[in-house]
Structure 1
Amino acid sequence: MHKLQSISVATLAKVFSRLSTRLKSSGGRPSAPLGSRILTNPDDIFKHNMWDHVQWTEEDKENARQKAQENSCVQIPLREQGKFDTEAHQYWDKFYEMHRDKFFKDRKWLFLEFPELLPLDTKSQATTRRQDCQTACQGASQEKNEDATQTSTFPGQHASFRILEVGCGVGNSVFPIVNSIKETDAFLYCCDFSPRAIQLVKDHPDYDDSVCHAFVHDICEEMASFPFPPQSLDVILAVFVLSSIHPERMQRAVNRLSTCLKHGGIFLFRDYGRYDFSLLRFKRGRCLSENFYTRGD
């Protein structure tokens, strides 16, 4: 059996960059992908859903570095830090108990930024992507994996295109995807470690278990199993998820998720970067470790 290599976070970023360039050149991506959107004319504010905002000078970078250093000079006491890891799902349960599905808005930008989420029969570009992936794969291993997938019994086993969203919350990505893949041969899995969040997803009027399976799962739990076989997913989506994982555990979580992807599968993510304005706004006493903070709620 062909062994999947572990994917590093740095490698993911490089692959994403190459994929962005290829899809951009073929018309499958926005003309200005994230990372190249610098707002220079205030009249263009609504030209894109998201902006990179500013082109920093060396002075800007130094000021940000100093601010981040100032924010992290006072850390939460060690005796209290552990609870933000071991009891994280309880904090989020309380958050969703208070806000339910009223806090975050549906991500209507998903398919503009990530056309790879669309099933193959919905986007001709996706067909090209799949053909490129298949060419790069080892045929025998691919056939063996597909045979194993088809003979297993699991939700979504008959789908030819499978997506997993990790850290789905109350479904702000789930339902834009579900409503776009109906009447296609695609299936969506979505998980969160907050039982209350998953229950809110299942209670949503658009939840349809014929195209979606929501389940409670902590991607940092090494022994936790998934409701699908290894190497059975085409796409994994993580939006503002990696930054919520302790930096020392992030790589292991990515490695475990990578074993779920088919050969040629894609890991899509959007997240905060170093010196993100959200990071710089934190006050002293909210720091857990380098570049890792806890919000007030």
Structure 2
Amino acid sequence: MAAPHAVVGVEGNSSESGLILSPDSSTGDVKRPQFGTRFLTDPRQVFQHNAWDNVEWTEEQEAAAKKKVLENSQPLPQEKQDDFDCRANEFWNDFYTIHENRFFKDRHWLFTEFPELAPKCGLNQESHPEGSGKDGGLLGGLDQEQSRDAAALLHTDGDFPGSSATYRILEVGCGVGNTVFPILKTNNDAGLFVYCCDFSSTAVELVKSNPEYDPERCFAFVHDMSDEEASHPVPDGTLDVIVLIFVLSALHPDKMQASISRLARLLKPGGVMLLRDYGRYDMAQLRFKKGRCLSDNFYVRGDGTRVYFFTQDELHEMFAEAGLEKVQNLVDRRLQVNRGKQLTMYRVWIQCKYRKPLVQPPEAQG
């Protein structure tokens, strides 16, 4: 295939539906069962459909992507970088004020890729496409009765939102509720409670003003995950699932590790952290021109918001440093097509699941 044409993409209006995953050969991850699979076997047919799954890159294509990134990698002066860092809240508030709900779609693919978000499935080993045992459930390795007992032992009484819940999900970087509302609409489990937070107060207000927002089942709050002094509305060790969808990439790289480590402490033993984010050489990265680079693989968009493009190894190292065990770390390479403009657009995303061990090492317990 020819070297990729690229168009700019931001998290809120990028196409995320119809997710199909292809494992990176260097990781040894087993390919998962697929759905809606569409392979491009004849390049002459590329414009017959809007998207093609599990696209393999040629050596020439990857070399061209690396060259493009290198050409535009001269970082901005430090004072300009500091200004974008200081005004990050302002830029994200402006983003949501301008766009509100116009470019956002519910992420219904989440329940296929992340069955942990469906509580009745979360403790059922057989419902997970990755199989049973240590890779296949929220409390992998426990049967349902043991899982209920563990949940009861881990239950923390206290006066905090959702303190009586038996299954707690937190989405960090919730935006206008693309993930939260599908979860609430899909699950009627009385024991479910969903927390959601965002750096932008404008986004949180949009969530709270949504007619589907139910304070009996959901708690939305403003939170800067990179702020070491910021507190959470729940105690450590009380969450079953933490969701990070295109949010870690918005942080300054120097703040990512501490942020992941703080979030990991909120998980119950056996709880999982779910991530989907931009991969290295995604079309959005290749679209950046000179003068937009902040540091290696970290850029500022025209609206002032920032984005980082990850490798699998980088994410694995951060999760492992936070004391979490890998369940999944896969690359999703997808070819999207603009038939009207006759353009091919190559997306690269990374999807991860990392679990907190059931038995914590002594240093983590201290």
Q: Which residue of 1 aligns with 2:73?
A: 72
Q: Which residue of 2 aligns with 1:9?
A: none
Cα 1:118–1:276 shift into 2, 3 Å = same
Q: Which residue of 2 aligns with 1:4?
A: none
The question of 1:58 aligning with 2:59 is answered yes
Please give the alpha-carbon distance, in whole angstroms, between the structure 1 residues aligned to 2:76 and 2:223: 27
Cα 1:211–1:143 shift into 2, 3 Å = closer
Matches within 5 A, 1:82-121: 82-120=82-120
- Specify the code of the residue in structure 1 equivalent to 2:232: F
- Specify the code of the residue in structure 1 equivalent to 2:57: W
Shift of 1:122: 7.7
TM-score normalized by structure 2? 0.65
Identity %: 47
- Specify the code of the residue in structure 1 equivalent to 2:58: T
Shift of 1:103: 2.2
Whether contact under 8 Å (2:139, 2:271) holds in the other structure is no
Q: Which residue of 2 aligns with 1:7?
A: none
Shift of 1:222: 0.6
Matches within 5 A, 1:217-236: 217-236=223-242
- Look up the SS of the partner of 1:188 in the other structure: strand
Shift of 1:133: 4.7
Shift of 1:77: 2.1
Cα 1:33–1:144 shift into 2, 3 Å = same
Matches within 5 A, 1:167-206: 167-206=173-212
Cα 1:258–1:145 shift into 2, 3 Å = farther
2:274 to 260, 268, 271: 268
- Look up the SS of the partner of 1:215 in the other structure: strand
TM-score normalized by structure 1? 0.79
Shift of 1:86: 2.1
Please give the alpha-carbon distance, in whole angstroms, between the structure 1 residues aligned to 2:103 and 2:93: 14
Shift of 1:144: 9.4
Whether contact under 8 Å (1:93, 1:196) holds in the other structure is yes
Please give the alpha-carbon distance, in whole angstroms, between the structure 2 residues aligned to 1:291 and 1:37: 30
Whether contact under 8 Å (2:166, 2:191) holds in the other structure is yes
Cα 1:121–1:280 shift into 2, 3 Å = closer
Cα 1:82–1:205 shift into 2, 3 Å = same
Count of residues paired in the alignment: 265
**Unaligned 5+ runs, structure 2:** 1-22, 304-366
Q: Which residue of 2 aligns with 1:32?
A: 34
- Specify the code of the residue in structure 1 equivalent to 2:291: G
- Specify the code of the residue in structure 2 equivalent to 1:155: P
1:106-152, Cα deviation, whole Å (9 max, x unpaired): 212111221111003687446962452547xx99xx689625x1x22
Please give the alpha-carbon distance, in whole angstroms, between the structure 2 residues aligned to 1:215 and 1:257: 15
Greater shift, 122-131 or 179-188, is seen at 122-131
- Specify the code of the residue in structure 2 equivalent to 1:281: R
Q: Which residue of 1 aligns with 2:140?
A: 132
Q: Which residue of 2 aligns with 1:277?
A: 283
Whether contact under 8 Å (2:172, 2:243) holds in the other structure is yes
- Specify the code of the residue in structure 2 equivalent to 1:208: D
- Specify the code of the residue in structure 2 equivalent to 1:90: E
- Specify the code of the residue in structure 2 equivalent to 1:84: F
Q: Which residue of 1 aligns with 2:261?
A: 255
Please give the alpha-carbon distance, in whole angstroms, between the structure 1 residues aligned to 2:141 and 2:47: 41
- Look up the SS of the partner of 1:218 in the other structure: coil
- Look up the SS of the partner of 2:262 in the other structure: helix
Shift of 1:182: 2.8
- Look up the SS of the partner of 1:284 in the other structure: coil
- Look up the SS of the partner of 2:278 in the other structure: coil
Q: Which residue of 1 aligns with 2:166?
A: 160
- Look up the SS of the partner of 1:156 in the other structure: coil
Shift of 1:80: 1.2
Please give the alpha-carbon distance, in whole angstroms, between the structure 2 residues aligned to 1:44 and 1:213: 44
- Specify the code of the residue in structure 1 equivalent to 2:96: Y
Please give the alpha-carbon distance, in whole angstroms, between the structure 1 residues aligned to 2:186 and 2:151: 28
Shift of 1:92: 0.8
Please give the alpha-carbon distance, in whole angstroms, between the structure 1 residues aligned to 2:301 and 2:295: 13
Q: What is the alpha-carbon root mean square deviation over aligned residues? A: 3.2
- Specify the code of the residue in structure 1 equivalent to 2:94: K
